[in-house]
Chains A and B, each alone.
Chain A
């Protein structure tokens, strides 16, 4: 049973560029959430997607946008990159309305902005 997968593993960009990160949820899951984890901090919620719609959003600017596809996979897009966007970006999947409804995380994409 494949878990949550993310690509790429690492990414280096320069300020002002745009980046797209990808996530495939755990088999049987329909909901994808994205988190940003700065060094030495806990993950911070960016947004959650269900049925191809953004279901809830954290305190992140509009430079952060996302998309969910019919196969439940998801993309996170960040425009006009800032140095402060350097972080580990985590994708988590879950099954909406299940008895436990816990979120399972992928390995993350480490983004470095120079």
Chain B
């Protein structure tokens, strides 16, 4: 079993739809949870960063973490064609308050159709 599981999609939605992206994980030591967006042939761009359980909202994006279920989600409201990209979830454990390696899911390819 992989430490982080993410449905690779692809996911295709119409413009304006609400998008839900999810990851599950098995390592109870994970404390920090991130979502990155990666456009084709580019490096990952940090979208959201959360610590432990709870919700965090930033504009059209909402990240949720449920540590009891080992499940994280990213919601995108009013999706736009410019949101078309691969979305990667990433997690890390903590030691002395510092991140070590990030463990990534495979990424979900999202296409938002005009």
Q: A: which residues have CB within 8 A of B?
A: 4, 33, 35, 40-45, 48, 55-56, 58, 88, 90, 92, 94, 96-97, 100-108, 110
Contacts and interface: CB of A to CB of B under 8 A. Distances in A.
Given A42-B104, A42-B106, A103-B102, A97 B97 contact: yes
B73 interface: no
A102 B8 contact: no
Nearest to A33: B101
Given A40-B8, A42-B106, 13 more contacts: A42-B6, A42-B88, A48-B100, A48-B101, A55-B100, A88-B41, A90-B44, A92-B102, A96-B98, A97-B97, A97-B98, A102-B34, A105-B45
Contacts of A106: 43
Contact of B107 (A42, A56, A104): A42
B99 interface: yes
A103 B42 CA distance: 16
Contacts of A58: 101
B97 A108 contact: no
Contacts of A48: 100-101
Contacts of B90: 42
Nearest to A105: B43
21 contacts: A33-B102, A41-B107, A42-B4, A42-B104, A43-B44, A45-B102, A58-B101, A90-B43, A90-B44, A97-B96, A97-B97, A97-B98, A101-B32, A101-B99, A103-B99, A103-B102, A105-B36, A105-B45, A108-B42, A108-B43, A110-B41
B46 interface: yes
Interface string B40-79: 0111111001000000000000000000000000000000
A105 B104 CA distance: 13
Contacts of B102: 33, 35, 43, 45, 92, 103
Given A106-B43, A107-B43, A101 B98 contact: yes
